[in-house]
Structure 1
Amino acid sequence: MNGDPSSPDLHCHEDPNFLYEDDEEMAEVNVVVNQNEIELEEAHLHSLIDQEIAFGFRRVEDLVIDDWVQEARLQAITWVQTRTRALGFHPRTAYLAITYFDRFISLQAIPEKKRAAFVRVISVACLLLAAKMEEMNRPPLSQYTIQFQGGSIKKMELLVLVVLKWEMNLITPFAFLDNFIAKLCQESPPGLKSGIEQRLLSIMTEIHLMHHRPSAIAAAATLMAVDQNLAQEALEAKITSIPELYFLEIEAVYSYYTIMQVP
């Protein structure tokens, strides 16, 4: 066949100069694509900050949380984390559920005689709502709990939605992680992100999530993955060396960082 001039030549006879020019063009395309990706990431970060500020996350120094609320939160956190693991949900779903819980409990008065039962139903409802926001595959209600009838859970879901004014797309520290890891971590070994996510879950018991900026909490957890023994000056130096992180409140980041240092 190769010796027959009438047979079509199916081999690709490439001009080296053409390949070189094509490589140059592809390199230029890659530069443009990379630049666009960077700009999109920065735009996304600024959008998150705008949402965070607009929502009004703020630290309340003299906040006093009633003993019953603290106990209720611990019960809710324990139950939500247990069910989240059992159902194979992402850690951010648990964090969002407790964010709903904190906001609801701070806005809605609960009769003293009904607190114990209410807390359990609220926990289920908040996890259900968080799963609807975060999870692609959601199990039937029966896998969440067998303690309550489905009707009571659905009524509580609706109450939570009404009290929270249907504002369910709340910013959590998880939204910042990819950006912060890229900026603050020189290396990204296997398990880095999952370790940071577990630190975020651990801080839930220490703070009321609605009174603290998610960006500062995310930065603290990310820096803990970099170095677990940073002094405040060293932590500040790492943050200020990255101009794009100008919006972070250094004292707040360091406060959460020290909380995460406790075993």
Structure 2
Amino acid sequence: MKCPGLCESQRLEILLENALFLETTKWKVPCFVESAIKGTDISPTQYEQTVLWMEGLNLRFQFYPETFGLAVSILNRILASVKAQVKYLQCIAVTCLYLAAKTNEEDEIIPSVKKLAEQSGCMYSSAEILRMERIILDKLQWDLYTSTPVDFLNTVRICD
């Protein structure tokens, strides 16, 4: 984003303010109460293992780092919004990664849902992943994008 007539520090300030505004209006994080995410049976360890698994999938499919950041952001927003059960956590996670890839990646890089289900090693069918996709989109009102930490790093790097 070019800001004609502004010095670099003013441009950086505008870019960071825009990212902060997006973050404050949309960013949600799951709240851990006692030994689980509030309203769920998902423990911090299960959450951490799921995020690490998503990172491995992101590397396997050679997605951008921004895709992984967005996938975790979508996961956090959905876990903060619904009472998810641990038995659906992998399905939710792989669907979040799929949605993030559809948002950030080139079409030829995005695997089919069937290939994603097979290569991810999750025990869900492509139909279940597509059903979860619809649920997530509905719960987030089709608004997937929010500022991620990667966006802040890219903003600072652009202005250097």
> TM-score, structure 2 length as denominator?
0.75
1:98 and 1:126 in contact (8 A); partners too: yes
Which amino acid is the alignment partner of residue 52 of structure 1? E
Specify which of 14, 20, 28 is matched with residue 49 of structure 1. 20
1:95 shift after superposition: 1.9
Please give the residue correspondences for 1:80-99 in structure 2 after superposition, counting only pairs within 5 Å.
80-99=54-73
1:143 aligns with 2:119: no
Q: In structure 2, how many angstroms separate the alpha carbons of the residues matched to 1:131 and 1:155?
A: 17
**Length, aligned pairs only:** 145
Specify which of 23, 28, 33 is matched with residue 64 of structure 1. 33
Structure with the larger RCO, 1 or 2 (CA within 8 Å, 6+ apart)? 2
1:76 and 1:98 in contact (8 A); partners too: no
Write the deviation string for residues 199-230 of structure 1: whole angstroms up to 9, x where unpaired: xxxxxxxxxxxxxxxxxxxxxxxxxxxxxxxx
SS at match of 1:122: helix
Q: In structure 1, how many angstroms separate the alpha carbons of the residues matched to 2:25 and 2:53?
A: 31
Please give the residue correspondences for 1:101-250 in structure 2 after superposition, counting only pairs within 5 Å.
101-111=75-85, 115-116=86-87, 118-136=88-106, 137-146=109-118, 147-181=123-157
**Greater Rg, structure 1 or structure 2?**
1
Structure 2 unaligned regions, length at least 5: 37-41
Q: In structure 2, how many angstroms separate the alpha carbons of the residues matched to 1:56 and 1:74?
A: 19
Structure 1 unaligned regions, length at least 5: 1-32, 186-263
Q: In structure 2, how many angstroms separate the alpha carbons of the residues matched to 1:57 and 1:124?
A: 19
- Percent identity between the two aligned chains: 22
**Aligned-residue CA RMSD (Å):** 2.8
1:171 shift after superposition: 0.8
> TM-score, structure 1 length as denominator?
0.48
The structure-2 alpha-carbon separation of the partners of 1:56 and 1:132, relative to structure 1 and needing over 3 Å to count, comes to closer
